[in-house]
Homo-oligomer: A and B are copies of this chain.
C-alpha cells in the first residue's frame, strides 16, 4: 500500500523518464541522418526525397541549426494542427479512426474524472473507517477510496448513483462516437475514387465440375445467374511454393549486396563464405560468385514454376475474384445467397487487393469449421495454461540446467555476479519473450482459422489478445494464482460469489495499476515515438546493405499501426478507468494523462511515420465499441460484488438493472450502426454508378479490372522488381542512381517546396 507521496514520487520518475524519451526524440529527429527513420511516410508518399537541410557535408548528418533545437516541442502542436479530413486523406481512414479511440478515452474519462473528484472523493474522504480500525496500515490513497466508507453506510447510494451517471455518460459517448465513425466511413466510401474492390466479389468454394474447368464453371455460373451484371473474373493460383522461392532469392540478393559493399571497402580481398548451414560450415567459396550462381539457379526455378502454375489446371484453386459491370451488381452478389447449398459458391466483398491474404482462399467449408473448433480449444489452453511451458523453460533456465547443456560456460556462470544475474533475470526473460511472441502466435492462430483478408486477421487476433489480457493481466493481477487456478475456483463458486471475490480485491490493487499505467502507458508511449529498434535497424542496413537509393528506400521501415497488438492494450485502460471510476477515483487522472499523451504521439506517428499496409475503412470500430461495452459491464458487476460485501444489501439490487440496460444498449447500437460496417447499401452503389456513367460513359472497366486481383507474384512488374538482378547491379564498381520512385506509390518530386510540411 503506497501513500500519496509514494505515488507522487513514482509519477515524477515516470514523468521524467517519459520527458527524457521525448528530449531524445527531439534531438534525434532533427538529425538529417535519421530523417528516413522519423519521416518515412513523406518519403513513401514521394513528397520528400532528401533531408531538409541543405548545406555543407557535416550538416548532411548532424543538424547545426540551434534555433530548431529550441523549438523541439513544436512537433506537438504540429501533430494536432492537421484537420481531420486532411488526415484521412493523408493517412487513410483506418489510422484516422484509430486515434479517435484515444480521443474517445478522453471524452469518456475527463468528465468522469471531474465528477468523481467533485463528488466521490469528498464522500470517501470524510469517513474515518480506516482510522478507527487498529492494527491496519492504510495509506492516504485508501482514504480516498471506497474502502474508507463504513459497511452498511447510506453513502453507498452516492456510489450507485455515480455508477449510473458514469454508465449513461459512457454509453452516450459511445453512441455519439459510433454515429460519427459510421458517418465517416460512409462518407469515405462515397467519396473515394474508383477502386477495384468496389466492383469485385470474392467467390469461394466453387464446386468441382466433371465437364468444365474451374474458370469455365465460374464464368457460366455468373453469366447465368447475374446475366446483366457479370463482367469478368480472375482465378486464383496456388502460389505458395513460388512465394518461398522468391523470398529465397530476395535474401540471397541481400547477401550479395552485403559482400559487394564489403568488397568495395576492401577491394584487395574477395569476400568468401561457406556453402553449408548459415555460412558457418562447409566448403569455402567466393561469396559474390557463389550467391550469384545460386540466384541464377533459383531464377530458373521461378520461371519453371511460374510456367507450371499458369498452365497446370491443378494449380487453380476453387476460388475467384468475380467482377461486375457496376457497383450495384457487385453489392447484390456480395450480399445474396447464390446456391441452395450454402457451403458452395460463397460470396463476400472482395478485400482491397493489398488486403487479400492469398494463402487461405482455398479452404473448403468442413475443414474451416474444424479449424475454428481446434483454434477455439487452442485459445482456451493458451489463455489458461500459458504458464505451463513457461514454467518448464524457467525451471530449466537455472544455473544447473545451463551447466548441463553448455558445460564450457561453467567457469563463467559460477561467478557470483553472473550467477545472481542468471537467477534473477532469466525466468523473467522467459516470460517477457513469450509475451513478445504472443501476438505472432495469435496471428498464426487466426491464419489457421482461414480468414481471407489481412484486416480480418488483425481483428480476430485483437479479439484473442483482448481475451488474454483480460484474463491474465487484469484478473491475474487482482487475484493471485494462475489463470487456470482462477478458472477452477470460479467454476466452484456461485455466480454471485465471483464478482464478490474479485470486487473485494479491487480497491487494494489501485496502487499497482497506477504504477502499471505510468510504466506501460506513459513511458511506453514515449518510447514508441523514439522508434529505437527501427532506428538501429535502419542504420545497420544503411551501413551494410544499402547501395542504391532504392535499397535505402527498402531499408526504411515505416512500420504501421499494429491493431492486433495495440488496440487490446488500449482496452485495458478503458477497463481500468471504468472499474476504478467509482472505487478509487484517484486513478482517473493517470488514465486521462495516458489518453491525452497517446493521442498526441500517435497523431504524430500516423502523420509522419506509419505506412498502412491496407485500408479497411475502419471496419474495426464495432469491435472497439463492443469491447468498451464489455469493460463497462465488468465494472458494473465488480461494483455490485464489492458493495454486496459492504453490507449495502438495500442498495445493491438497484445495480442489477445496469448490466441489462447496457446489454440492451449494445444490441440497439448493433442494429443501428453495424450494417454500415459490413454491408454496402444499394442506394449508395447506385448513386456512384449513375454519377460515373454520366461523367465517364466510355471508361473501359474490363481493362481496368484485368490485373487488379492477380497474385502479386504474377504481376510482371512486381516480380521483376522483387528479383531484379540486372547488369547495372552486376557491376559493383559503378555507382548507380536510380529513380527513388521505383518502389514508392507516388511519383517523387524532389526538391519540391512541400518538403517540410510539419515542422
On A, residues with C-beta under 8 Å from B are 186, 221, 224-226, 228, 331-332, 335-340, 342-343, 345, 365-366, 369, 373, 377, 490-497, 660, 664, 667-668, 671-676, 679-684, 686
Contacts and interface: CB of A to CB of B under 8 A. Distances in A.
B343 A671 contact: yes
A226 to B, nearest CB: 8
A343 B671 CA distance: 8
A687 to B, nearest CB: 9
A463 to B, nearest CB: 17
B342 A672 contact: yes
B338 A335 contact: no
A664 B373 contact: yes
A340 B494 contact: no
Indicate the member of A337, A369, A495, A671 with the most B CB atoms within 10 Å.
Answer: A337
Contacts of A672: 342-343, 365
14 contacts: A186-B340, A332-B336, A335-B335, A338-B683, A339-B683, A340-B681, A342-B679, A343-B671, A365-B672, A369-B664, A369-B671, A490-B494, A492-B494, A494-B495
A684 B340 contact: yes
Contacts of A224: 683, 686
A622 to B, nearest CB: 12
A362 B34 CA distance: 64
Nearest to A224: B686
Closest 6 CB pairs of A and B: A342-B675, A337-B679, A335-B336, A492-B494, A337-B681, A493-B494
Nearest to A667: B369
A225 B686 CA distance: 6
Contacts of A331: 336
A543 B375 CA distance: 70
- Looking at chain A's contact residues, is the secondary structure mostly helix, strand, loop, or mixed? helix
Given A491-B495, A494-B492, A675-B342, A337 B680 contact: yes
Nearest to A488: B496
Indicate the member of A343, A668, A682 with the most B CB atoms within 10 Å.
Answer: A682
A342 B683 contact: no
Contacts of A673: 342
Given A342-B673, A342-B676, A343-B672, A682 B225 contact: yes
Contact of A496 (B332, B373, B491): B491
Contacts of A336: 331-332, 335-336, 679, 681-682
A667 B373 CA distance: 10
Contacts of A497: 492, 494
Copies of this chain per assembly:
2
A252 B34 CA distance: 94
Contact of A495 (B340, B495, B679): B495
B332 A674 contact: no
Contacts of A186: 340
B373 A342 contact: no
A192 to B, nearest CB: 14
Contact of A671 (B226, B342, B493, B675): B342
A339 B225 contact: no
Contacts of A345: 683
A339 B331 CA distance: 12
Given A342-B673, A667-B369, A668-B369, A683 B494 contact: no
A682 B337 contact: yes
A495 B488 CA distance: 10
A491 B491 contact: no
Nearest to A680: B337
A207 to B, nearest CB: 12
Nearest to A685: B225
Given A332-B332, A491-B495, A495-B490, A338 B674 contact: no
A365 B673 CA distance: 12
Contacts of A337: 335, 675, 679-682
A568 B481 CA distance: 45
Contacts of A675: 337, 342
A660 B379 CA distance: 14
A332 B366 CA distance: 27
B683 A225 contact: yes
Given A340-B684, A343-B671, A377-B660, 7 more contacts: A336-B682, A340-B676, A343-B672, A365-B671, A490-B495, A492-B494, A495-B495
Contacts of A492: 494-497
Contacts of A667: 369
A331 B676 CA distance: 21
Nearest to A489: B494
A343 B676 CA distance: 11
A708 to B, nearest CB: 23
Contacts of A377: 660
A540 to B, nearest CB: 48
Contacts of A365: 671-672
B340 A683 contact: yes
A338 B494 contact: no
A671 to B, nearest CB: 7
Given A493-B494, A494-B492, A495-B490, A338 B682 contact: yes
Contacts of A660: 377
Contacts of A225: 682-683, 686
A506 to B, nearest CB: 21
B681 A339 contact: yes
Contacts of A228: 228
Contacts of A343: 671-672
A224 B686 CA distance: 8
Contacts of A332: 332, 336
Contacts of A340: 186, 676, 681, 683-684
A342 B672 CA distance: 6
A457 B332 CA distance: 29
A226 B328 CA distance: 9
A395 to B, nearest CB: 26
A296 B331 CA distance: 56
A215 to B, nearest CB: 19
A117 to B, nearest CB: 34
A684 B341 CA distance: 11
A450 B369 CA distance: 34
A493 B342 CA distance: 42
Contacts of A490: 494-495
A299 B379 CA distance: 70
A186 B495 CA distance: 45
Contact of A338 (B221, B369, B668, B681): B681
